[in-house]
Amino acid sequence: MADWLQLNDWLYDGLDSALNTALHGTPLADYAGFMALVLAATLACVSVLGVFMMGLGLILWIEPKLWARMMDRRGRTTDWRSLWVGEQGVTAGEWWNKVPYGLGRPIGALNRWLNKVMGNASKHPSVERVNNRSWHGAWWALPGFVQTIADGAKFLTKEHMPPTKADRLIYEISPFLIISSTVLIIGFMPFSSGIYAINPELSVLFALAIFGIAPLGVFFAGWSSNNKYTLIGGIRSAAQLTAYEIPLLITVLGVCVLSGSFNFIEIVNFQHSAGAWNFFLLPLGFGLFIITMIAEVERIPFDMPEAEAELVEGWWTEYGGMRWGLLFAAEYMRVWAACILCAVFFLGGWSAPFAGLMGNLGVVGVVWNDLIPGVVWTMLKSLFIFLIFVWARASLPRVRTDQILEFGWRYLLPLSVVQLVIAVILRLSFYDPAGLGSGSAWDGGSGFFWLVPLVVFVVSMAIFIVYSIDEDKDPPSRPYHVHTVEPAGTHVAGSVGGRQKIGNTGMR
C-alpha cells in the first residue's frame, strides 16, 4: 500500500542529509542525526495539525451553511471582500496613514486596488444589506468561510467575566483540560500511511483514552461556575458520557479484534490488504460507532448537557470571551476527530474506494489508486461522515436525559457485545490469512471476491429491515417512556391545596 506522499520519511531524510552536510566537521556533527529527528518530528506535528485545522475550518463552514440550506435559508455570506468593502460604503477612511514610518502606504495602495477590482468601486456587487437579498456572494470569494474567522477573532477582544462566587481555580482550569485533551487526540490520528505525528504501537488505546478525559473537564466546568443550570448540565454530561463510553470502547475493540492490532496504520493496512473495509464486515459496528460518537461529542439528538431549551446554555453558560470560543472550537475539534476515527476504523482510511474496479481502467485507474495521495481520501471520507452528523442534527429533536441513559445502558451496551462476538467469529472462522497480500482474505477460498463481507452486509441489512417493519397496522396505545419518581399525572392539577405562596424563593 505504498502511498507516494510519505511526508514523515521525506522530512526526516531531507533534514538528516542537510544537517549532516551542513554540520560536517563542526563539533555538532555527531548531534546532526538527533537534531534532524527533532526537527522532522516538529514539522510532522505541524503538518498534521495544519491538515486537521484546515479540515476544522472546512467543517465550521459546512455545518452552518448545510444546515441553513436545509432550513431553506441562504446561510452565511461574509467573504474576504468584507475586509476592505466596509459597511454599505462607509469605510474607516485613510486609516493606514496612522501606521508609523510611512509603512502604511503600500497597504493603502492595496486597499484602493482591491476596492477598484472587486470592492466598492467595482462592478462586482458586494453583499448589500437589503436591496439584493437573493445575491449571496461570488463563489470565488468563498461566501461564509470567513465568518468563522471573524467569530474566532471576536472572542479575543471580549472581556473575561468570571462569576464572582465561582470556584476560580477549577473555573479557569477546566476549559484547558477540555481543550488540551481534544488537541492531543490529533497527535495519534494518522491521515495517511506517511503522515502522522506519532505512531506508537497501541495508538488506538492512546487516542480513545485521551478522548475520555474531556468529560471530566466538562463536569468540573459545570460544577465550578456556581450556577444551577451549569451544575445540572455538568451532571447530565457526566452521566451521559460514562453511559456511552463503554459501548464505544467495546465497538472499537471489535474493530481491533477483526483487524488484529491496536495500531491505526495496521488497521487500515489490514482493511486494504484483506480486501474489505470494516464497514462491510461490521455494519452494526459502524452504526453503533456513529451513535456513541454523537453522544460523546454531545450533539443533537444527545444534546442534553447544553440543552438551550431548559438549561439556557448548559454547562458553558458562565463562560464568555476566548474561553468560550476555545470550548466552542474544542467541541468541533472533537466532532472532526470523531469523523476521522470513523473513517479510519470503518471506511478504510486512505485506501481508495473501488480500487479493484477503477484499477483496470488504465490511466484513470492509475490516477485513482496511486496519484491521489491517501490524505485526500481520508479527508473525503471524514467529510462524508460529518454530513451524517449534520443531517442528524438538522432533523432530530433532543432525547431526554433519562431516556438517553436508558437507551445507552439497555440497548447499545448489549448490541456492542453482540458486535464484538460477530467480530471474533469473523476473525476466527472466515478469515483466510493466505489471501492477505492479494486482497482476497475474505473470499472464503471460492475465488468469488470478498464473499464474506457481501454476505455479512446483506444479512445484516435484511435483519435490520425485518425489524424496522411495523407489523401491527394501528399501533397499540402509545408507548410510555416516562419513568418518574412520583407517577406523573397523579398530582391533581389546580387542586386548591397546591402551595402557591411566594415562600422561600428569595423574592425581593
Partner 1 sequence: MAQMWITMGPQHPMTHGLWTLRVKVDGETVVDTEPELGYIHRGVEKICEARDFTQITPYCDRLCYVSAMTWAHSYIYSAENLLEVEVPERAEYVRLIATEIQRVTSHLMWLGAYSPDIGNLTIFTWCLRDREMFIDLMQELGGSRLHYNFPRVGGVKRDLPIGFAQRCRAKIALFLERLKEYEMLLDESTVFLVRTQGVGLASAEAMVNAGVTGPNLRAAGVNYDVRWAHPYSVYDELDWNPSVEKPSSSKGADCYDRYRVRMEEMVHSCEMVLEALDKIPGGAESHYSPGDEMIQSKAPLRAPAGSSGFHHYEDCRGESMFYLQGGGEGRGKHPYRVSIRSPMFITIPFVAKTMIGYKIADIPAIMGSFDPCIGETDR
Partner 2 sequence: MGESGQNYTVFNSRSLVEMVGDVTDEAMKATKLKDFIGVLGGRFFNWAQRKSLFPLHLGIKCCAIEMGQTGGPRYDTERFGNGVFRSSPRQCDVLLVNGPISKKFADPLVRLWEQMPEPKWCIAMGECSISGGPYFQSYNILEGVDTLVPVDVYIPGCPPRPEALIDGFGKLREKIIRIGVEPSSERSSDTPIIIGDD
Partner 3 sequence: MGMKISSKANIAAAKSAVEAIKSRFDSVGVEVSSAQHASGHKRTYVSIACPPAHWLALAKWMRFDGGVNHCSMITGVHHPEGGPDKGWEVIAHLMRMPVVDQKPGKALVHDAAKLSGDDVPMEYEVVLTLPQTDTPVVPSVQSIWVGADWNEKETWDLVGIDFEGHEYMMRVLNPHDSPQGFHPLQKQHHLRYHGHNEMYDDAQGFMRLPVDVDKVK
494 binds partner 1 (CB under 8 A): yes
Tell which one of 362, 363, 486, 508 touches partner 1 (CB under 8 A): 486
Cβ neighbours, 10 Å, residue 363: 8
Q: List strand residue ranges (DSSP E) for 322-459, in order.
A: none
108, with CB counted inside 10 A (0-12, 13-18, 19+), is: middle
Q: Are 317 and 230 in contact (CB under 8 A)?
A: yes
Q: What number of chain residues touch partner 1 (CB under 8 A)?
A: 54
**Alpha carbon 479 to its chain's center:** 34
Q: Which is nearer to partner 3, 473 or 499 (CB)?
A: 499
Taking the least distance from each CB to partner 1, the nearer of 362 and 479 is 479
What is the C-alpha separation between 499 and 25, in angstroms, rounded? 91
Cα 132 to Cα 126, 127, 129: the distances in Å are 10, 8, 7
Distance in Å, CB of 407 to partner 2, minimum = 27
CA 301 from chain center: how many Å? 16
* Residue 508 sits in the site that holds partner 3 (CB under 8 A): yes
**Between 78 and 193, CB nearer to partner 2:** 78
The backbone region for 380, taken as left when phi is positive above 0, alpha when psi lies in -120 to 50, beta otherwise, is: alpha
Give the binding range for partner 3 (CB under 8 A) out of 100-108, 144-152, 190-198, 489-497.
489-497
Q: Which residues bind partner 2 (CB under 8 A)?
A: 64, 68, 71-78, 82-83, 86-88, 90-101, 103-104, 107, 127, 129-130, 133, 136, 146-147, 149-154, 156-161, 308, 312-313, 316-321, 324
**How many helical (H) and strand (E) elements, i.e. helices and strands, does the chain have?**
20, 0
Please say which residue, 98 or 508, places its beta carbon nearer to partner 3.
508
Q: How many CB atoms lie within 10 A of CB 175?
A: 22
Q: Is 164 in the site for partner 3 (CB under 8 A)?
A: no
Stretch that binds partner 1, among 38-46, 199-207, 319-327, 478-486 (CB under 8 A): 478-486
Cα angle at 235 between 229 and 239, to 5 degrees?
145
Q: Does 69 bind partner 1 (CB under 8 A)?
A: no
Taking the C-alpha atoms of residue 155 and residue 143, their distance in angstroms, rounded to an integer, is: 21
Interaction residues for partner 1, span 306-335 (CB under 8 A): 307-312
Q: Is 496 in the site for partner 3 (CB under 8 A)?
A: yes
Q: What is the dihedral of CA 433, 437, 439, 445, to 10 degrees?
A: -40
Q: CB 147: neighbour CB atoms within 10 A?
A: 19
Instruction: Out of 100, 397, 475, 494, point to the residue binding partner 3 (CB under 8 A).
Output: 494
By the rule CB under 8 A, 434 interacts with partner 3: no
Q: Does 485 bind partner 3 (CB under 8 A)?
A: no
489 binds partner 1 (CB under 8 A): yes
Residue 400 to residue 474: CA distance in whole angstroms: 26
Contacting residue, 123, 465, 503, 508, with partner 1 by CB under 8 A? 503
Beta-bridged to residue 90, according to DSSP, are 87
User: How far, in Å, CA of 507 to CA of 286, rounded?
Assistant: 53
Residues in 71-110 at the binding interface with partner 1, rule: CB under 8 A: 71-73
- Whether the Cβ atoms of residue 288 and residue 412 lie closer than 8 Å to each other: yes
What is the Cα–Cα distance from 333 to 143, expressed in whole angstroms?
Answer: 22
Task: Choose which of 87, 131, 502, 504 interacts with partner 3 (CB under 8 A).
Answer: 502
- Please identify which residue in the block is written with the cell numbers 459546512: 62
Instruction: Decide: helix, strand or coil at residue 297.
Output: coil
| 504 lines the binding site for partner 3 (CB under 8 A) | no
Q: Does 507 bind partner 3 (CB under 8 A)?
A: yes
The option from partner 1, partner 3, partner 2, none interacting with 13 (CB < 5 to 8 A, set by class) reads none
How many angstroms separate the CA atoms of 287 and 394, rounded? Answer: 18
498 is a site residue for partner 1 (CB under 8 A): yes
In the stretch 438-477, what mask flags binding to partner 3 with x, by CB under 8 A? ---------------------------------------x
**Partner that binds at residue 421, options partner 3, partner 1, partner 2, none, CB closer than 5 to 8 Å by kind:** none
Residues in contact with partner 1 by CB under 8 A are: 67, 70-73, 228-229, 232, 300-301, 303-304, 307-312, 394-403, 477-482, 484-495, 498-500, 502-506
Contacts to partner 3 by CB under 8 A: 477, 494-496, 499-502, 507-508
